[in-house]
Structure 1
Amino acid sequence: MGVSDEWEAPNDTAVGVGNSVSDGTFHAPVVQAGAVSGGVHTYYGQPHFSVLPPVSEWPRLDTADPIALGVRRTRRLPGESPLPPYVERYCDEELGDRVREAAREGGLVVVTGAPLSGKTRTVWAALVANLPGKTRVFAPSPGTDLRGLAAVVRGRGEAGCVLWLDDLGGHLGEHGLTPAVLADLVRLRVPVLTTMEDEAYDARRFGAADRVRVLDGTRPVELNRVWSDSELGLLEEAEEPRLWSARLWRGAHTVPEYLAVSPDLVEEWRRAARPARHPRGHLLVRAAVDLYRCGVPDGAVSGEVLREAQRLYPDAYAVAEAESFDDGLAWAAEQRYGVSGLLIPGEKNGTWGVFGGLLADAGDRPGDWPVPLDLWMFALDTAGSRGGRLTVRLSAHVHLVERAKDDPAAAAVLGEINFTVGDLKTAEFWCRIGADAGHTKAAAALGELMVARGASAEAIPYLEQAAEAGDVRSQYSLGLLLVDRAKDWMNRAAEAGHPLAGRALSRLHAVT
């Protein structure tokens, strides 16, 4: 037997090799090096397999980080826990029985399901619910050499432990979880908890080319992709904001799909605004989100509407010139993770909706990027029907009332929206707030509203305010109003016998 290729003896030694054995288990090559002086020393060469940490260094179940062990993170707002509460699945009882049995007798537990069906979270919940918190968890990286694991576990003392192999396919092979390694762990009563996607399991369990013996005789716990009515009922009862978000915004996606991909899609969209990324795509998605916030139904926004709406973001529109409209739209609609694009095809050809996670994020962080004020009237025109316009009006009140108390431009928008839908009293209320704060457009609209209801005297100061600011329509309206009032007063003076009033009145009539 030759010297291990992974250990090089010093030049002045004579070398022989033996085996290091402890409790009948091979650990590593032993190198006996005879020094020049004739003394013999024992060195332990590098093993063929990686050195595994002792059980005492494995994290405890009650302090382990499930996200670090493979559970997908969800979108998280400040103050929220790392993960939302677990919603019970139909297979939890069966899985719990299998986990407890494996803890007593050792053995392999495999949970299978479609991608993003919640396998890892479900297995983690089963571990936490059925094993003591002091249980030590070993979660090696894919490709880790597991041949020395049994020797490590033998030195665990009284500590209970579990081998956690998320996505088992990455842990198979001659240096991974082999039948021999599994048999050793079963003898040591170590449970092995694993997940596999359905197709990968079928290929490794039944396929001729990829079949692995470690799965022989296994009976997986199957996790359905689609949630049952009873599972959705439990979701309905949940009060945690992220679960409410999944209930409201997941659309055609499953709850785990929505929770798993939301943070990545939101982050990708936010970072895409840079000129070197996808500024046009970012802008088109933002316009679609904002139109929904304005009350335009999701899935009802056409490509042409997006083409026009993007112009209402002048700064972003200038940056977006680095990318064409078609390229930006294609990027936004590209499906991510086999689940969803940022934009989703609507029911009608050429229309678009928005992935629900983006809508939820916009609702949770409204101060990050308020809807441009000009977009509200554009949304009102886009809505079309009276019912649609009333929805936009309601959304405007939800979003703009607080802002309008300090922002006269927002008050002016509320006034204009209410005027358009025919609520003149509310329109006058908001226009007065904007006008009294110095907003020219609000003053002009308020003056017109007052004239229309016969309050000409009240209208004059507001029309003058707008006229002096350069509003041409107000200048014209004010001129007509003042001429009419001059006629009225001259007529009264003439009737009272003023000698010059009649002549002045004739000139006024000639003017108009």
Structure 2
Amino acid sequence: MGSGERQDVSNGVSGQVGGSVVQARYVDSVHIGMPGNSLPDPMSWPLAREAPESAPTVKGGTDVLPYLPRDHDPALRELLRTHPFVLVTGPPLAGKTFSAWAAIREVGPGLRIYTPPKDTDFRTLPTALRQSPAGGRCVLWLDDLAERLGEGGLDHDVAGQLRHLGVPIVATMSDADYGAYRFGQDSHAQLLRNARVLRVAEGWSEAERTRLAESPNPRHRAVRDEKHVTKYLAVGSELWDEWQWAGDSGGHLRGHLLVRAALDVARCGYRGPVPLISLRETHWEYEEYESRKPELESAEEALAWATKVRHGVAGMLVAGEDERTWRVHGALLGCLPQPPDASDVAAMAWFVAARAAGEDDRAGILAAAREAFGKAVEAEDGTAMFDMGRLLEEHGDAEAADWFVLASDADEDNAAAAGSAGRALAAKGEYGRAVTYLERAVKTGDGDAAALLGKLHLDRARHWLAVAADGGDPESAHQLGRMLQGSDPDEALRRYRQAAEHDTYRNTVAASLGSLLHTAGQVDEAECWYRLGVQAGDTTAVHDLAVLLAGRDDSGSRAEAESLYLRAGKRGPHTHRHSVTHYGVLLVAQGQIVKGVDCLRVAADCGDSFAAYQLGRVLSRGGNSLQARQWFTKAAASGNLAAATALADLEKARADDAG
């Protein structure tokens, strides 16, 4: 390191002024004793190359990060090589101390570093150095020089003697103190005028941030996007210690859990701010939230503690641009492993991170989740695997089905996992596998799974009946037509005709084909198929043909309809009560009231609500309101809306009469 040249005459007196002083061509100094302020032997001072990587005065104690090269390093080190007094200035927590200390270790590894205690009398230092074998192979390190400028501190005279001995001075000073001491006429200004000054800026350049991002240390990488990098690095370990203490001591347990939630969200891959409610939903999942509930402070107290600014830098939670959004302090993030294991964070943290992230970042989060939850498969942790499935399902990833299957296989009693597996597999078209898991879910009482299972069976039945019908099986074509008659009448008609192409099956499908044609308004062809069914003894065809003929005006058709109703009804009123009902309605229309009422009563007693309704109408028109009310009530109880309306009208009329 640099040193000054000897002057022709250079005498000095330090300490107390005594008697006569001899002036000579060159006398280094006259030191008149100051007892009680002896310095340690300079040979005991640590060598720079053996000194710790961080200065003793660096904030953070022993838990300080390795020094990361800064853009100003080359200029600072050149100053140390060429000048005896180098002063590093800058704003608080800008990295002055770390930069200067790293430069000393780099430029003068063989020098012994003297870091004087606060009460050191610097006037004794030159003599101690002259008397030691260490001599000029030392460097004076003064962090925060402003504290060493008082009585007995560093002054222009002592600095001159050290320069003569070849002992460089490396010091730091805040911008404010430098401005206060440098510009004036006193001895402090005289001292500082001889220093070579390098100012460390608070901001970090893009090149420096790139080095942060490429650093092997996660705490460096964690603050690469922070505005005040050095401040965050300086207080990171302090925040970490306080956060852990809060969780252990219980003094701010809820605040600790709130910060933990933000940490987990960031560790999952999203470092931006998230809504406070999302952090609270996450912190509810921690075991401590329930097990230590009596220790929890209020939500407001927890937030105040977590966001309180520490060391004039930042809180553990840092506010986002949007109201009531927060993110974790970057320096805290670097203290934990990333990415985390599935068991190491709350499951909700993955959901919060993925929801908050943009599409590109979300892909990375889901990839990290796959890796993290992969360990859950080895551990057969059904709950964790189910959570992973839900996460993927929420973002439309078909792989969710595989995770639900794994979760259900690990815990067959997990109805949610089984139901989700079945639904996801069905959505992928894997119906056979879906049925297995839906049936498992149904056994645990999952009604939605039962509904989907029925639909799947119905769909599969349609599929296989179509395969069989196209393969020439008329019964399959007939059954398929019945299934499709309500939803796809055109396809149902095609399938009925397909079945009717087989001579041996034509009579069997006749009634179904006639009914569909009748509904479609193709009455003439429908009648043909009905009559074919009647000839074959199909009672359904008998009834349906009677209904068709009863709707005509000619007496011959009505007579035939009556005969057909009787024929169907004779097969048993319980089985063919609809025919009995229609026959009764027909008799009433023909004026055969007594006979018609008897038929309707038989059908109504067999459970036909339409017959009960018609019977009530006949009795009401005949003035028998009491019996009419009974039959309307019975029909309405079976879901007949017309009967319910008629009953209401009857009651209203009775109320009006009473009024």
Q: TM-score range by the shorter chain?
A: 0.7 to 0.9
Partner of residue 98, structure 1: 79
The answer to whether the 8 Å contact 2:47/2:113 transfers is yes
SS at match of 1:111: strand
Alpha-carbon distance between aligned partners in 2 of 1:207 and 1:486, rounded to the nearest angstrom? 99
- Alpha-carbon shift at residue 296 of structure 1 (Å): 5.1
**Structure 2 residue aligned with 1:111, among 80, 83, 88?**
88
Q: Is the 8 A contact 1:111 1:123 kept in 2?
A: yes
Q: Distance in 2 between matches of 1:383 and 1:365?
A: 17
Contact 1:376 1:413 in 2 (8 A): no
- Which AA in structure 2 matches 1:215? L
Q: Distance in 2 between matches of 1:120 and 1:186?
A: 22
Structure 2 matches for 1:354-369, cutoff 5 A?
354-364=328-338, 366-367=340-341
The answer to whether the 8 Å contact 2:341/2:375 transfers is no
- CA distance in 2 between counterparts of 1:443 and 1:83 reads 49
Q: Looking at both structures, which has the greater relative contact order when contacts are Cα pairs under 8 Å and sequence separation is at least 6?
A: 1
Identity of aligned residues (%): 34
Q: Give TM-score scaled by structure 2 length.
A: 0.58
Please identify which structure carries the higher strand content: 1
Which position in structure 2 is the counterpart of 1:26? Answer: 32
Q: Counterpart in 2 of 1:176? A: 153
In the alignment, the residues of structure 1 paired with residue 300 and residue 367 of structure 2 have an alpha-carbon distance, to the nearest angstrom, of: 33
User: For 2:156 and 2:220, how far apart are their aligned partners in 1?
Assistant: 41
CA distance in 1, matches of 2:104, 2:269: 45
Establish whether residue 287 from structure 1 lines up as the match of residue 261 from structure 2: yes
The answer as to whether partners of 1:246 and 1:258 remain within 8 angstroms in 2 is no
Asked if the contact 2:271/2:328 (under 8 Å) is kept, the reply is no
CA contact (8 A) 1:275 1:319 kept: no
Quick check: 2:222–2:333 contact (8 Å CA) kept in 1?
no
- Give, in angstroms, the shift of residue 231 of structure 1: 4.5
* Structure 1 residue 351, shift from structure 2 partner: 1.4
Of 307, 310, 331, which residue of structure 2 is paired with 1:336?
310
Q: Aligned ranges for residues 110-149 of structure 1 at < 5 Å? A: 110-131=87-108, 133-149=109-125
Instruction: Determine the C-alpha separation between the residues in 2 that align with 1:397 and 1:365.
Output: 11
Residue range with higher mean Cα deviation, 389-398 or 223-232: 389-398
Gapped runs of 5+ residues in structure 2? 1-17, 22-27, 466-474, 480-504, 509-659
Contact 1:310 1:317 (C-alpha < 8 Å) held by counterparts: no
CA apart distance, 1:149? 1.3
Q: Distance in 2 between matches of 1:166 and 1:215?
A: 15
Task: Work out the CA distance in 2 between the residues paired with 1:386 and 1:60.
Answer: 54
From the CA coordinates, give the structure whose radius of gyration is larger: 2
Q: Give the Å deviation of 1:204.
A: 2.3
Q: Is contact 2:221–2:334 with CA below 8 Å preserved after alignment?
A: no
Query: Residues 340 and 355 of structure 1 are in contact (CA less than 8 Å); yes or no, is this contact kept in structure 2?
Result: yes
Which letter does structure 2 place at the counterpart of 1:421? Answer: H
Q: What's the C-alpha RMSD, in Å, of the aligned pairs?
A: 4.0
- After superposition, the Cα gap between the structure-2 partners of 1:375 and 1:471, relative to the gap in structure 1 and judged at 3 Å, is farther
What is the one-letter code of the residue matched to 1:101?
T
| Structure 1 match to 2:278 | 305
Deviations 1:434-467 (A, max 9, x none): 2222251322222233455665554444344444
Q: Secondary structure at the match of 2:162?
A: helix
1:396 to 369, 392, 397: 369
Asked if the contact 1:250/1:258 (under 8 Å) is kept, the reply is no
Q: Deviations over 1:22-81 (max 9, x none)?
A: 9842234xxxxxxxxxxxxxxxxxx2x4221011111112112243533455997xxxxx
* Residues 275-305 of structure 1 deviation map (CA, whole Å, 9 limit, x = unaligned): 5422122111111222334455612x12233
Aligned partners of 1:111 and 1:119 also within 8 Å:
yes
The alpha-carbon distance between structure 1 residues 411 and 62, as it changes in their structure 2 partners (threshold 3 A), is same
CA distance in 2 between counterparts of 1:116 and 1:470 reads: 62
Contact kept? 1:74, 1:260, Cα under 8 Å: no
The CA deviation at 1:353 is 1.8
| Contact 1:89/1:231, CA 8 A, preserved across alignment | yes
Is the partner of 1:195 in helix, strand or coil?
strand
Q: Does the aligned pair in 1 maintain the 2:268–2:339 contact within 8 Å? A: no
CA distance in 2, matches of 1:307, 1:206: 54
> Is 1:61–1:135's contact at 8 Å kept on the other side of the alignment?
yes
Matched, 1:53 2:59: no
1:31 aligned partner: none
**What is the deviation of 1:165?**
0.8
Counterparts of 1:471 and 1:70, CA distance in 2: 65
- Cα offset, 1:371, TM superposition: 1.9
Q: Are the aligned partners of 1:295 and 1:391 in contact in 2 as well (CA < 8 Å)? A: yes
TM-score w.r.t. length of structure 1 = 0.73
1:6-405 matched pairs, under 5 angstroms: 24-28=30-34, 47=35, 49-72=36-59, 83-90=65-72, 92-93=74-75, 95-102=76-83, 107-131=84-108, 133-157=109-133, 159=135, 160-206=137-183, 213-232=190-209, 235=211, 239-242=214-217, 245-247=219-221, 249-294=223-268, 298-299=272-273, 301-316=274-289, 319=292, 322-364=296-338, 366-367=340-341, 370-377=344-351, 383=356, 393-405=366-378
SS in 2 for 1:272: helix
Supply the AA of the counterpart residue of 1:258. Y
| CA deviation vs aligned residue, 1:204-229 (integer Å, no higher than 9, x gap) | 22379996653344342222222344
| Matched position secondary structure for 2:262 | helix
User: After the TM superposition, which of the residue ranges 151-160 and 164-173 deviates more from structure 2?
Assistant: 151-160
For 1:469 and 1:100, locate their aligned partners in 2 and report how far apart those are by CA, in whole Å.
80
The alpha-carbon distance between structure 1 residues 429 and 109, as it changes in their structure 2 partners (threshold 3 A), is same
- From the superposition, tell whether residues 479 and 136 of structure 1 become closer, same or farther in structure 2 (CA, over 3 Å): same
The structural deviation recorded for 1:394 is 4.1
